[in-house]
């Protein structure tokens, strides 16, 4: 299994420590932490670390998610994972290209 780089966006909440401790025992994952204070610092962290996966919690999601989704459109293979600390749910965003051959293919992906 190839090694994957995870960029963990620190929010000041407990999520960073919890997720970091979960990932550190996985040999195929390298965790890079960042605590950006603005959009410019966030993009610098993404460019520097070149992650396959970016993890953030719902407390910083409204600030950073739109920027990350725009960045994802120009990048190959980045996934963005938003962890909701209240409901213990995650949202996964990934760029995926789907070739449609017929109308039924369109409805199959919905």
Angle at 46 between CA 63 and CA 98, to 5 degrees: 85
- Helix locations, the chain, DSSP H: 15-23, 39-49, 61-73, 103-109
pLDDT score of 107 more than 70: no
Task: State the CATH architecture for 4-109.
Answer: 3-Layer(aba) Sandwich (3.40)
Measured between alpha carbons, how far is 53 from 46 in angstroms, rounded to an integer?
10
pLDDT, tens digit (0-9, with 9 covering 90-100), for 72-88: 888 877 899 888 877 87
Listed range (18-22, 23-27, 93-97, 100-104) with the worst mean pLDDT: 18-22
Q: Rounded to 10 degrees, what is the CA torsion of 50, 55, 61, 67?
A: 20
Could you state, in order of their start, the residue ranges of all structural domains in the chain?
4-109
Measured between alpha carbons, how far is 51 from 41 in angstroms, rounded to an integer?
15
């Amino acid at each position: 299994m190839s090694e994957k780089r995870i960029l963990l966006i620190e929010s000041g909440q407990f999520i960073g420590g919890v997720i970091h401790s979960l990932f550190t025992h996985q040999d195929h994952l390298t965790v890079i932490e960042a605590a950006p204070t603005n959009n410019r610092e966030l993009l610098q962290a993404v460019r520097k670390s070149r992650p396959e996966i970016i993890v953030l919690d719902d407390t910083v999601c409204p600030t950073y998610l739109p920027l990350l989704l725009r960045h994802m459109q120009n990048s190959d293979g980045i996934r963005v994972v938003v962890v909701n600390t209240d409901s213990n749910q995650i949202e996964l965003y990934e760029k995926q290209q789907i070739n449609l051959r017929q109308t039924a293919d369109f409805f199959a992906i919905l």
